[in-house]
Amino acid sequence: MKQLMDLTMGEDFETFVLIKSADKRVAKNGKPFISFTFQDQSGQISGMYWDASDQDVAQFVAGKVIFLKGKREAYKDKPQIKILEIRLTTGNEPSDPLMFVKRAPMSHQEMKDYIDQTIFEITNATFNRIVRALLNRHAKSFFNYPAAKTNHHDFPGGLAFHTISILRLAHAIVAQYPGINAPLLYAGAVLHDLGKTIELSGPIGTEYTLAGNLLGHLSIMDAEIVEAADKLGIASDNEDLLLLRHMVLSHHGLLEYGSPERPQLLEAEILHHLDELDASIMMIQGALAHVKPGEYSDRIFGLDNRRFYQPHHPES
């Protein structure tokens, strides 16, 4: 059976896939339908299941593995599946969702070792104590959760791998430019997305939690930092504490992207750009992974709906 992203335009197929998301909607004719995102290890593709019954809505939910028969089409320049048949898997057919998701390119132990080593490099006592306290609290989720529901690092272990990617870049920046507060930059990098362990529901069938929708991971982690500092006996007006909170709250860069404050520290500006750089590279590489030389990728929503070109002789 072919993987989803290996299907060509107009190709009929039968395969097993994971339901990444399933949203009940109502068509213009008033009839319900399900907007699906299907997933396997090659990528994701959407599909609409028209005239869905209550039973369909109840059984075809995120996190379920299904048999899918369909045709690869396109809608508004984006790949889409015309669904001909779907059903839950039975008997000896595949049913483990983990068979259909990408994994971080580092093992759990490799990621843990890197983070542990970085913590030793956070030589400021205030930063170190807070980072240790919060990582201990969220360690299991941190190493298993994705970094996002969609777009970038949206696979089990993606949150820790994204954090490590930023830390690797941060180490290079510190080596290149003098005068950077390395402990602050590393502490901010470790904590910047840790709130996603509360914002997101988990590694499979990832959705936003109530706290995620109402608060967002920046404000969630800011509150966690304040709580940890209080338990550690760190005063609320401690400058180091305020610097660390600013790193988390400003890392989206712009107010319209969710940061209540724009970066006002060199280290905060660096963290913002490294976060954007890593996410952008992952989105572009993912979009180009199945694009033939001389052709363009599908439009990337997270990058202003731009397409990217695959050269005939890409340098490796």
How high is the pLDDT of residue 315? Answer: 63
The residue that leads in pLDDT, 180 or 6, is 180
Residues 6+ apart with CB under 8 A from 305: 299
Confidence band (pLDDT; 50, 70, 90) for 289? confident
Q: Is 316 a residue whose pLDDT tops 70?
A: no
How high is the pLDDT of residue 314? Answer: 58
How high is the pLDDT of residue 12? Answer: 94
Give me the CATH topology for the region 4-100.
OB fold (Dihydrolipoamide Acetyltransferase, E2P) (2.40.50)
How high is the pLDDT of residue 75? Answer: 86
pLDDT > 70: what percent of the chain? Answer: 99
Q: What is the mean pLDDT of residues 105-134?
A: 97
Residues 6+ apart with CB under 8 A from 29: none
Domain boundaries, the chain: 4-100, 108-283
Q: Is 256 a residue whose pLDDT tops 80?
A: no
CB 166, CB 189: distance < 8 Å:
yes
Query: What is the tens place of the pLDDT at every residue in 54-76?
Result: 999 999 999 999 999 999 998 88
The residue that leads in pLDDT, 308 or 253, is 308
DSSP annotation string for 54-89: HHHHHHS-TT-EEEEEEEEEEETTEEEEEEEEEEE-
How high is the pLDDT of residue 78? Answer: 79
CB 67, CB 59: distance < 8 Å:
no
The residue that leads in pLDDT, 135 or 206, is 135
Domain 108-283, CATH class in plain words: mainly alpha
How high is the pLDDT of residue 258? Answer: 76
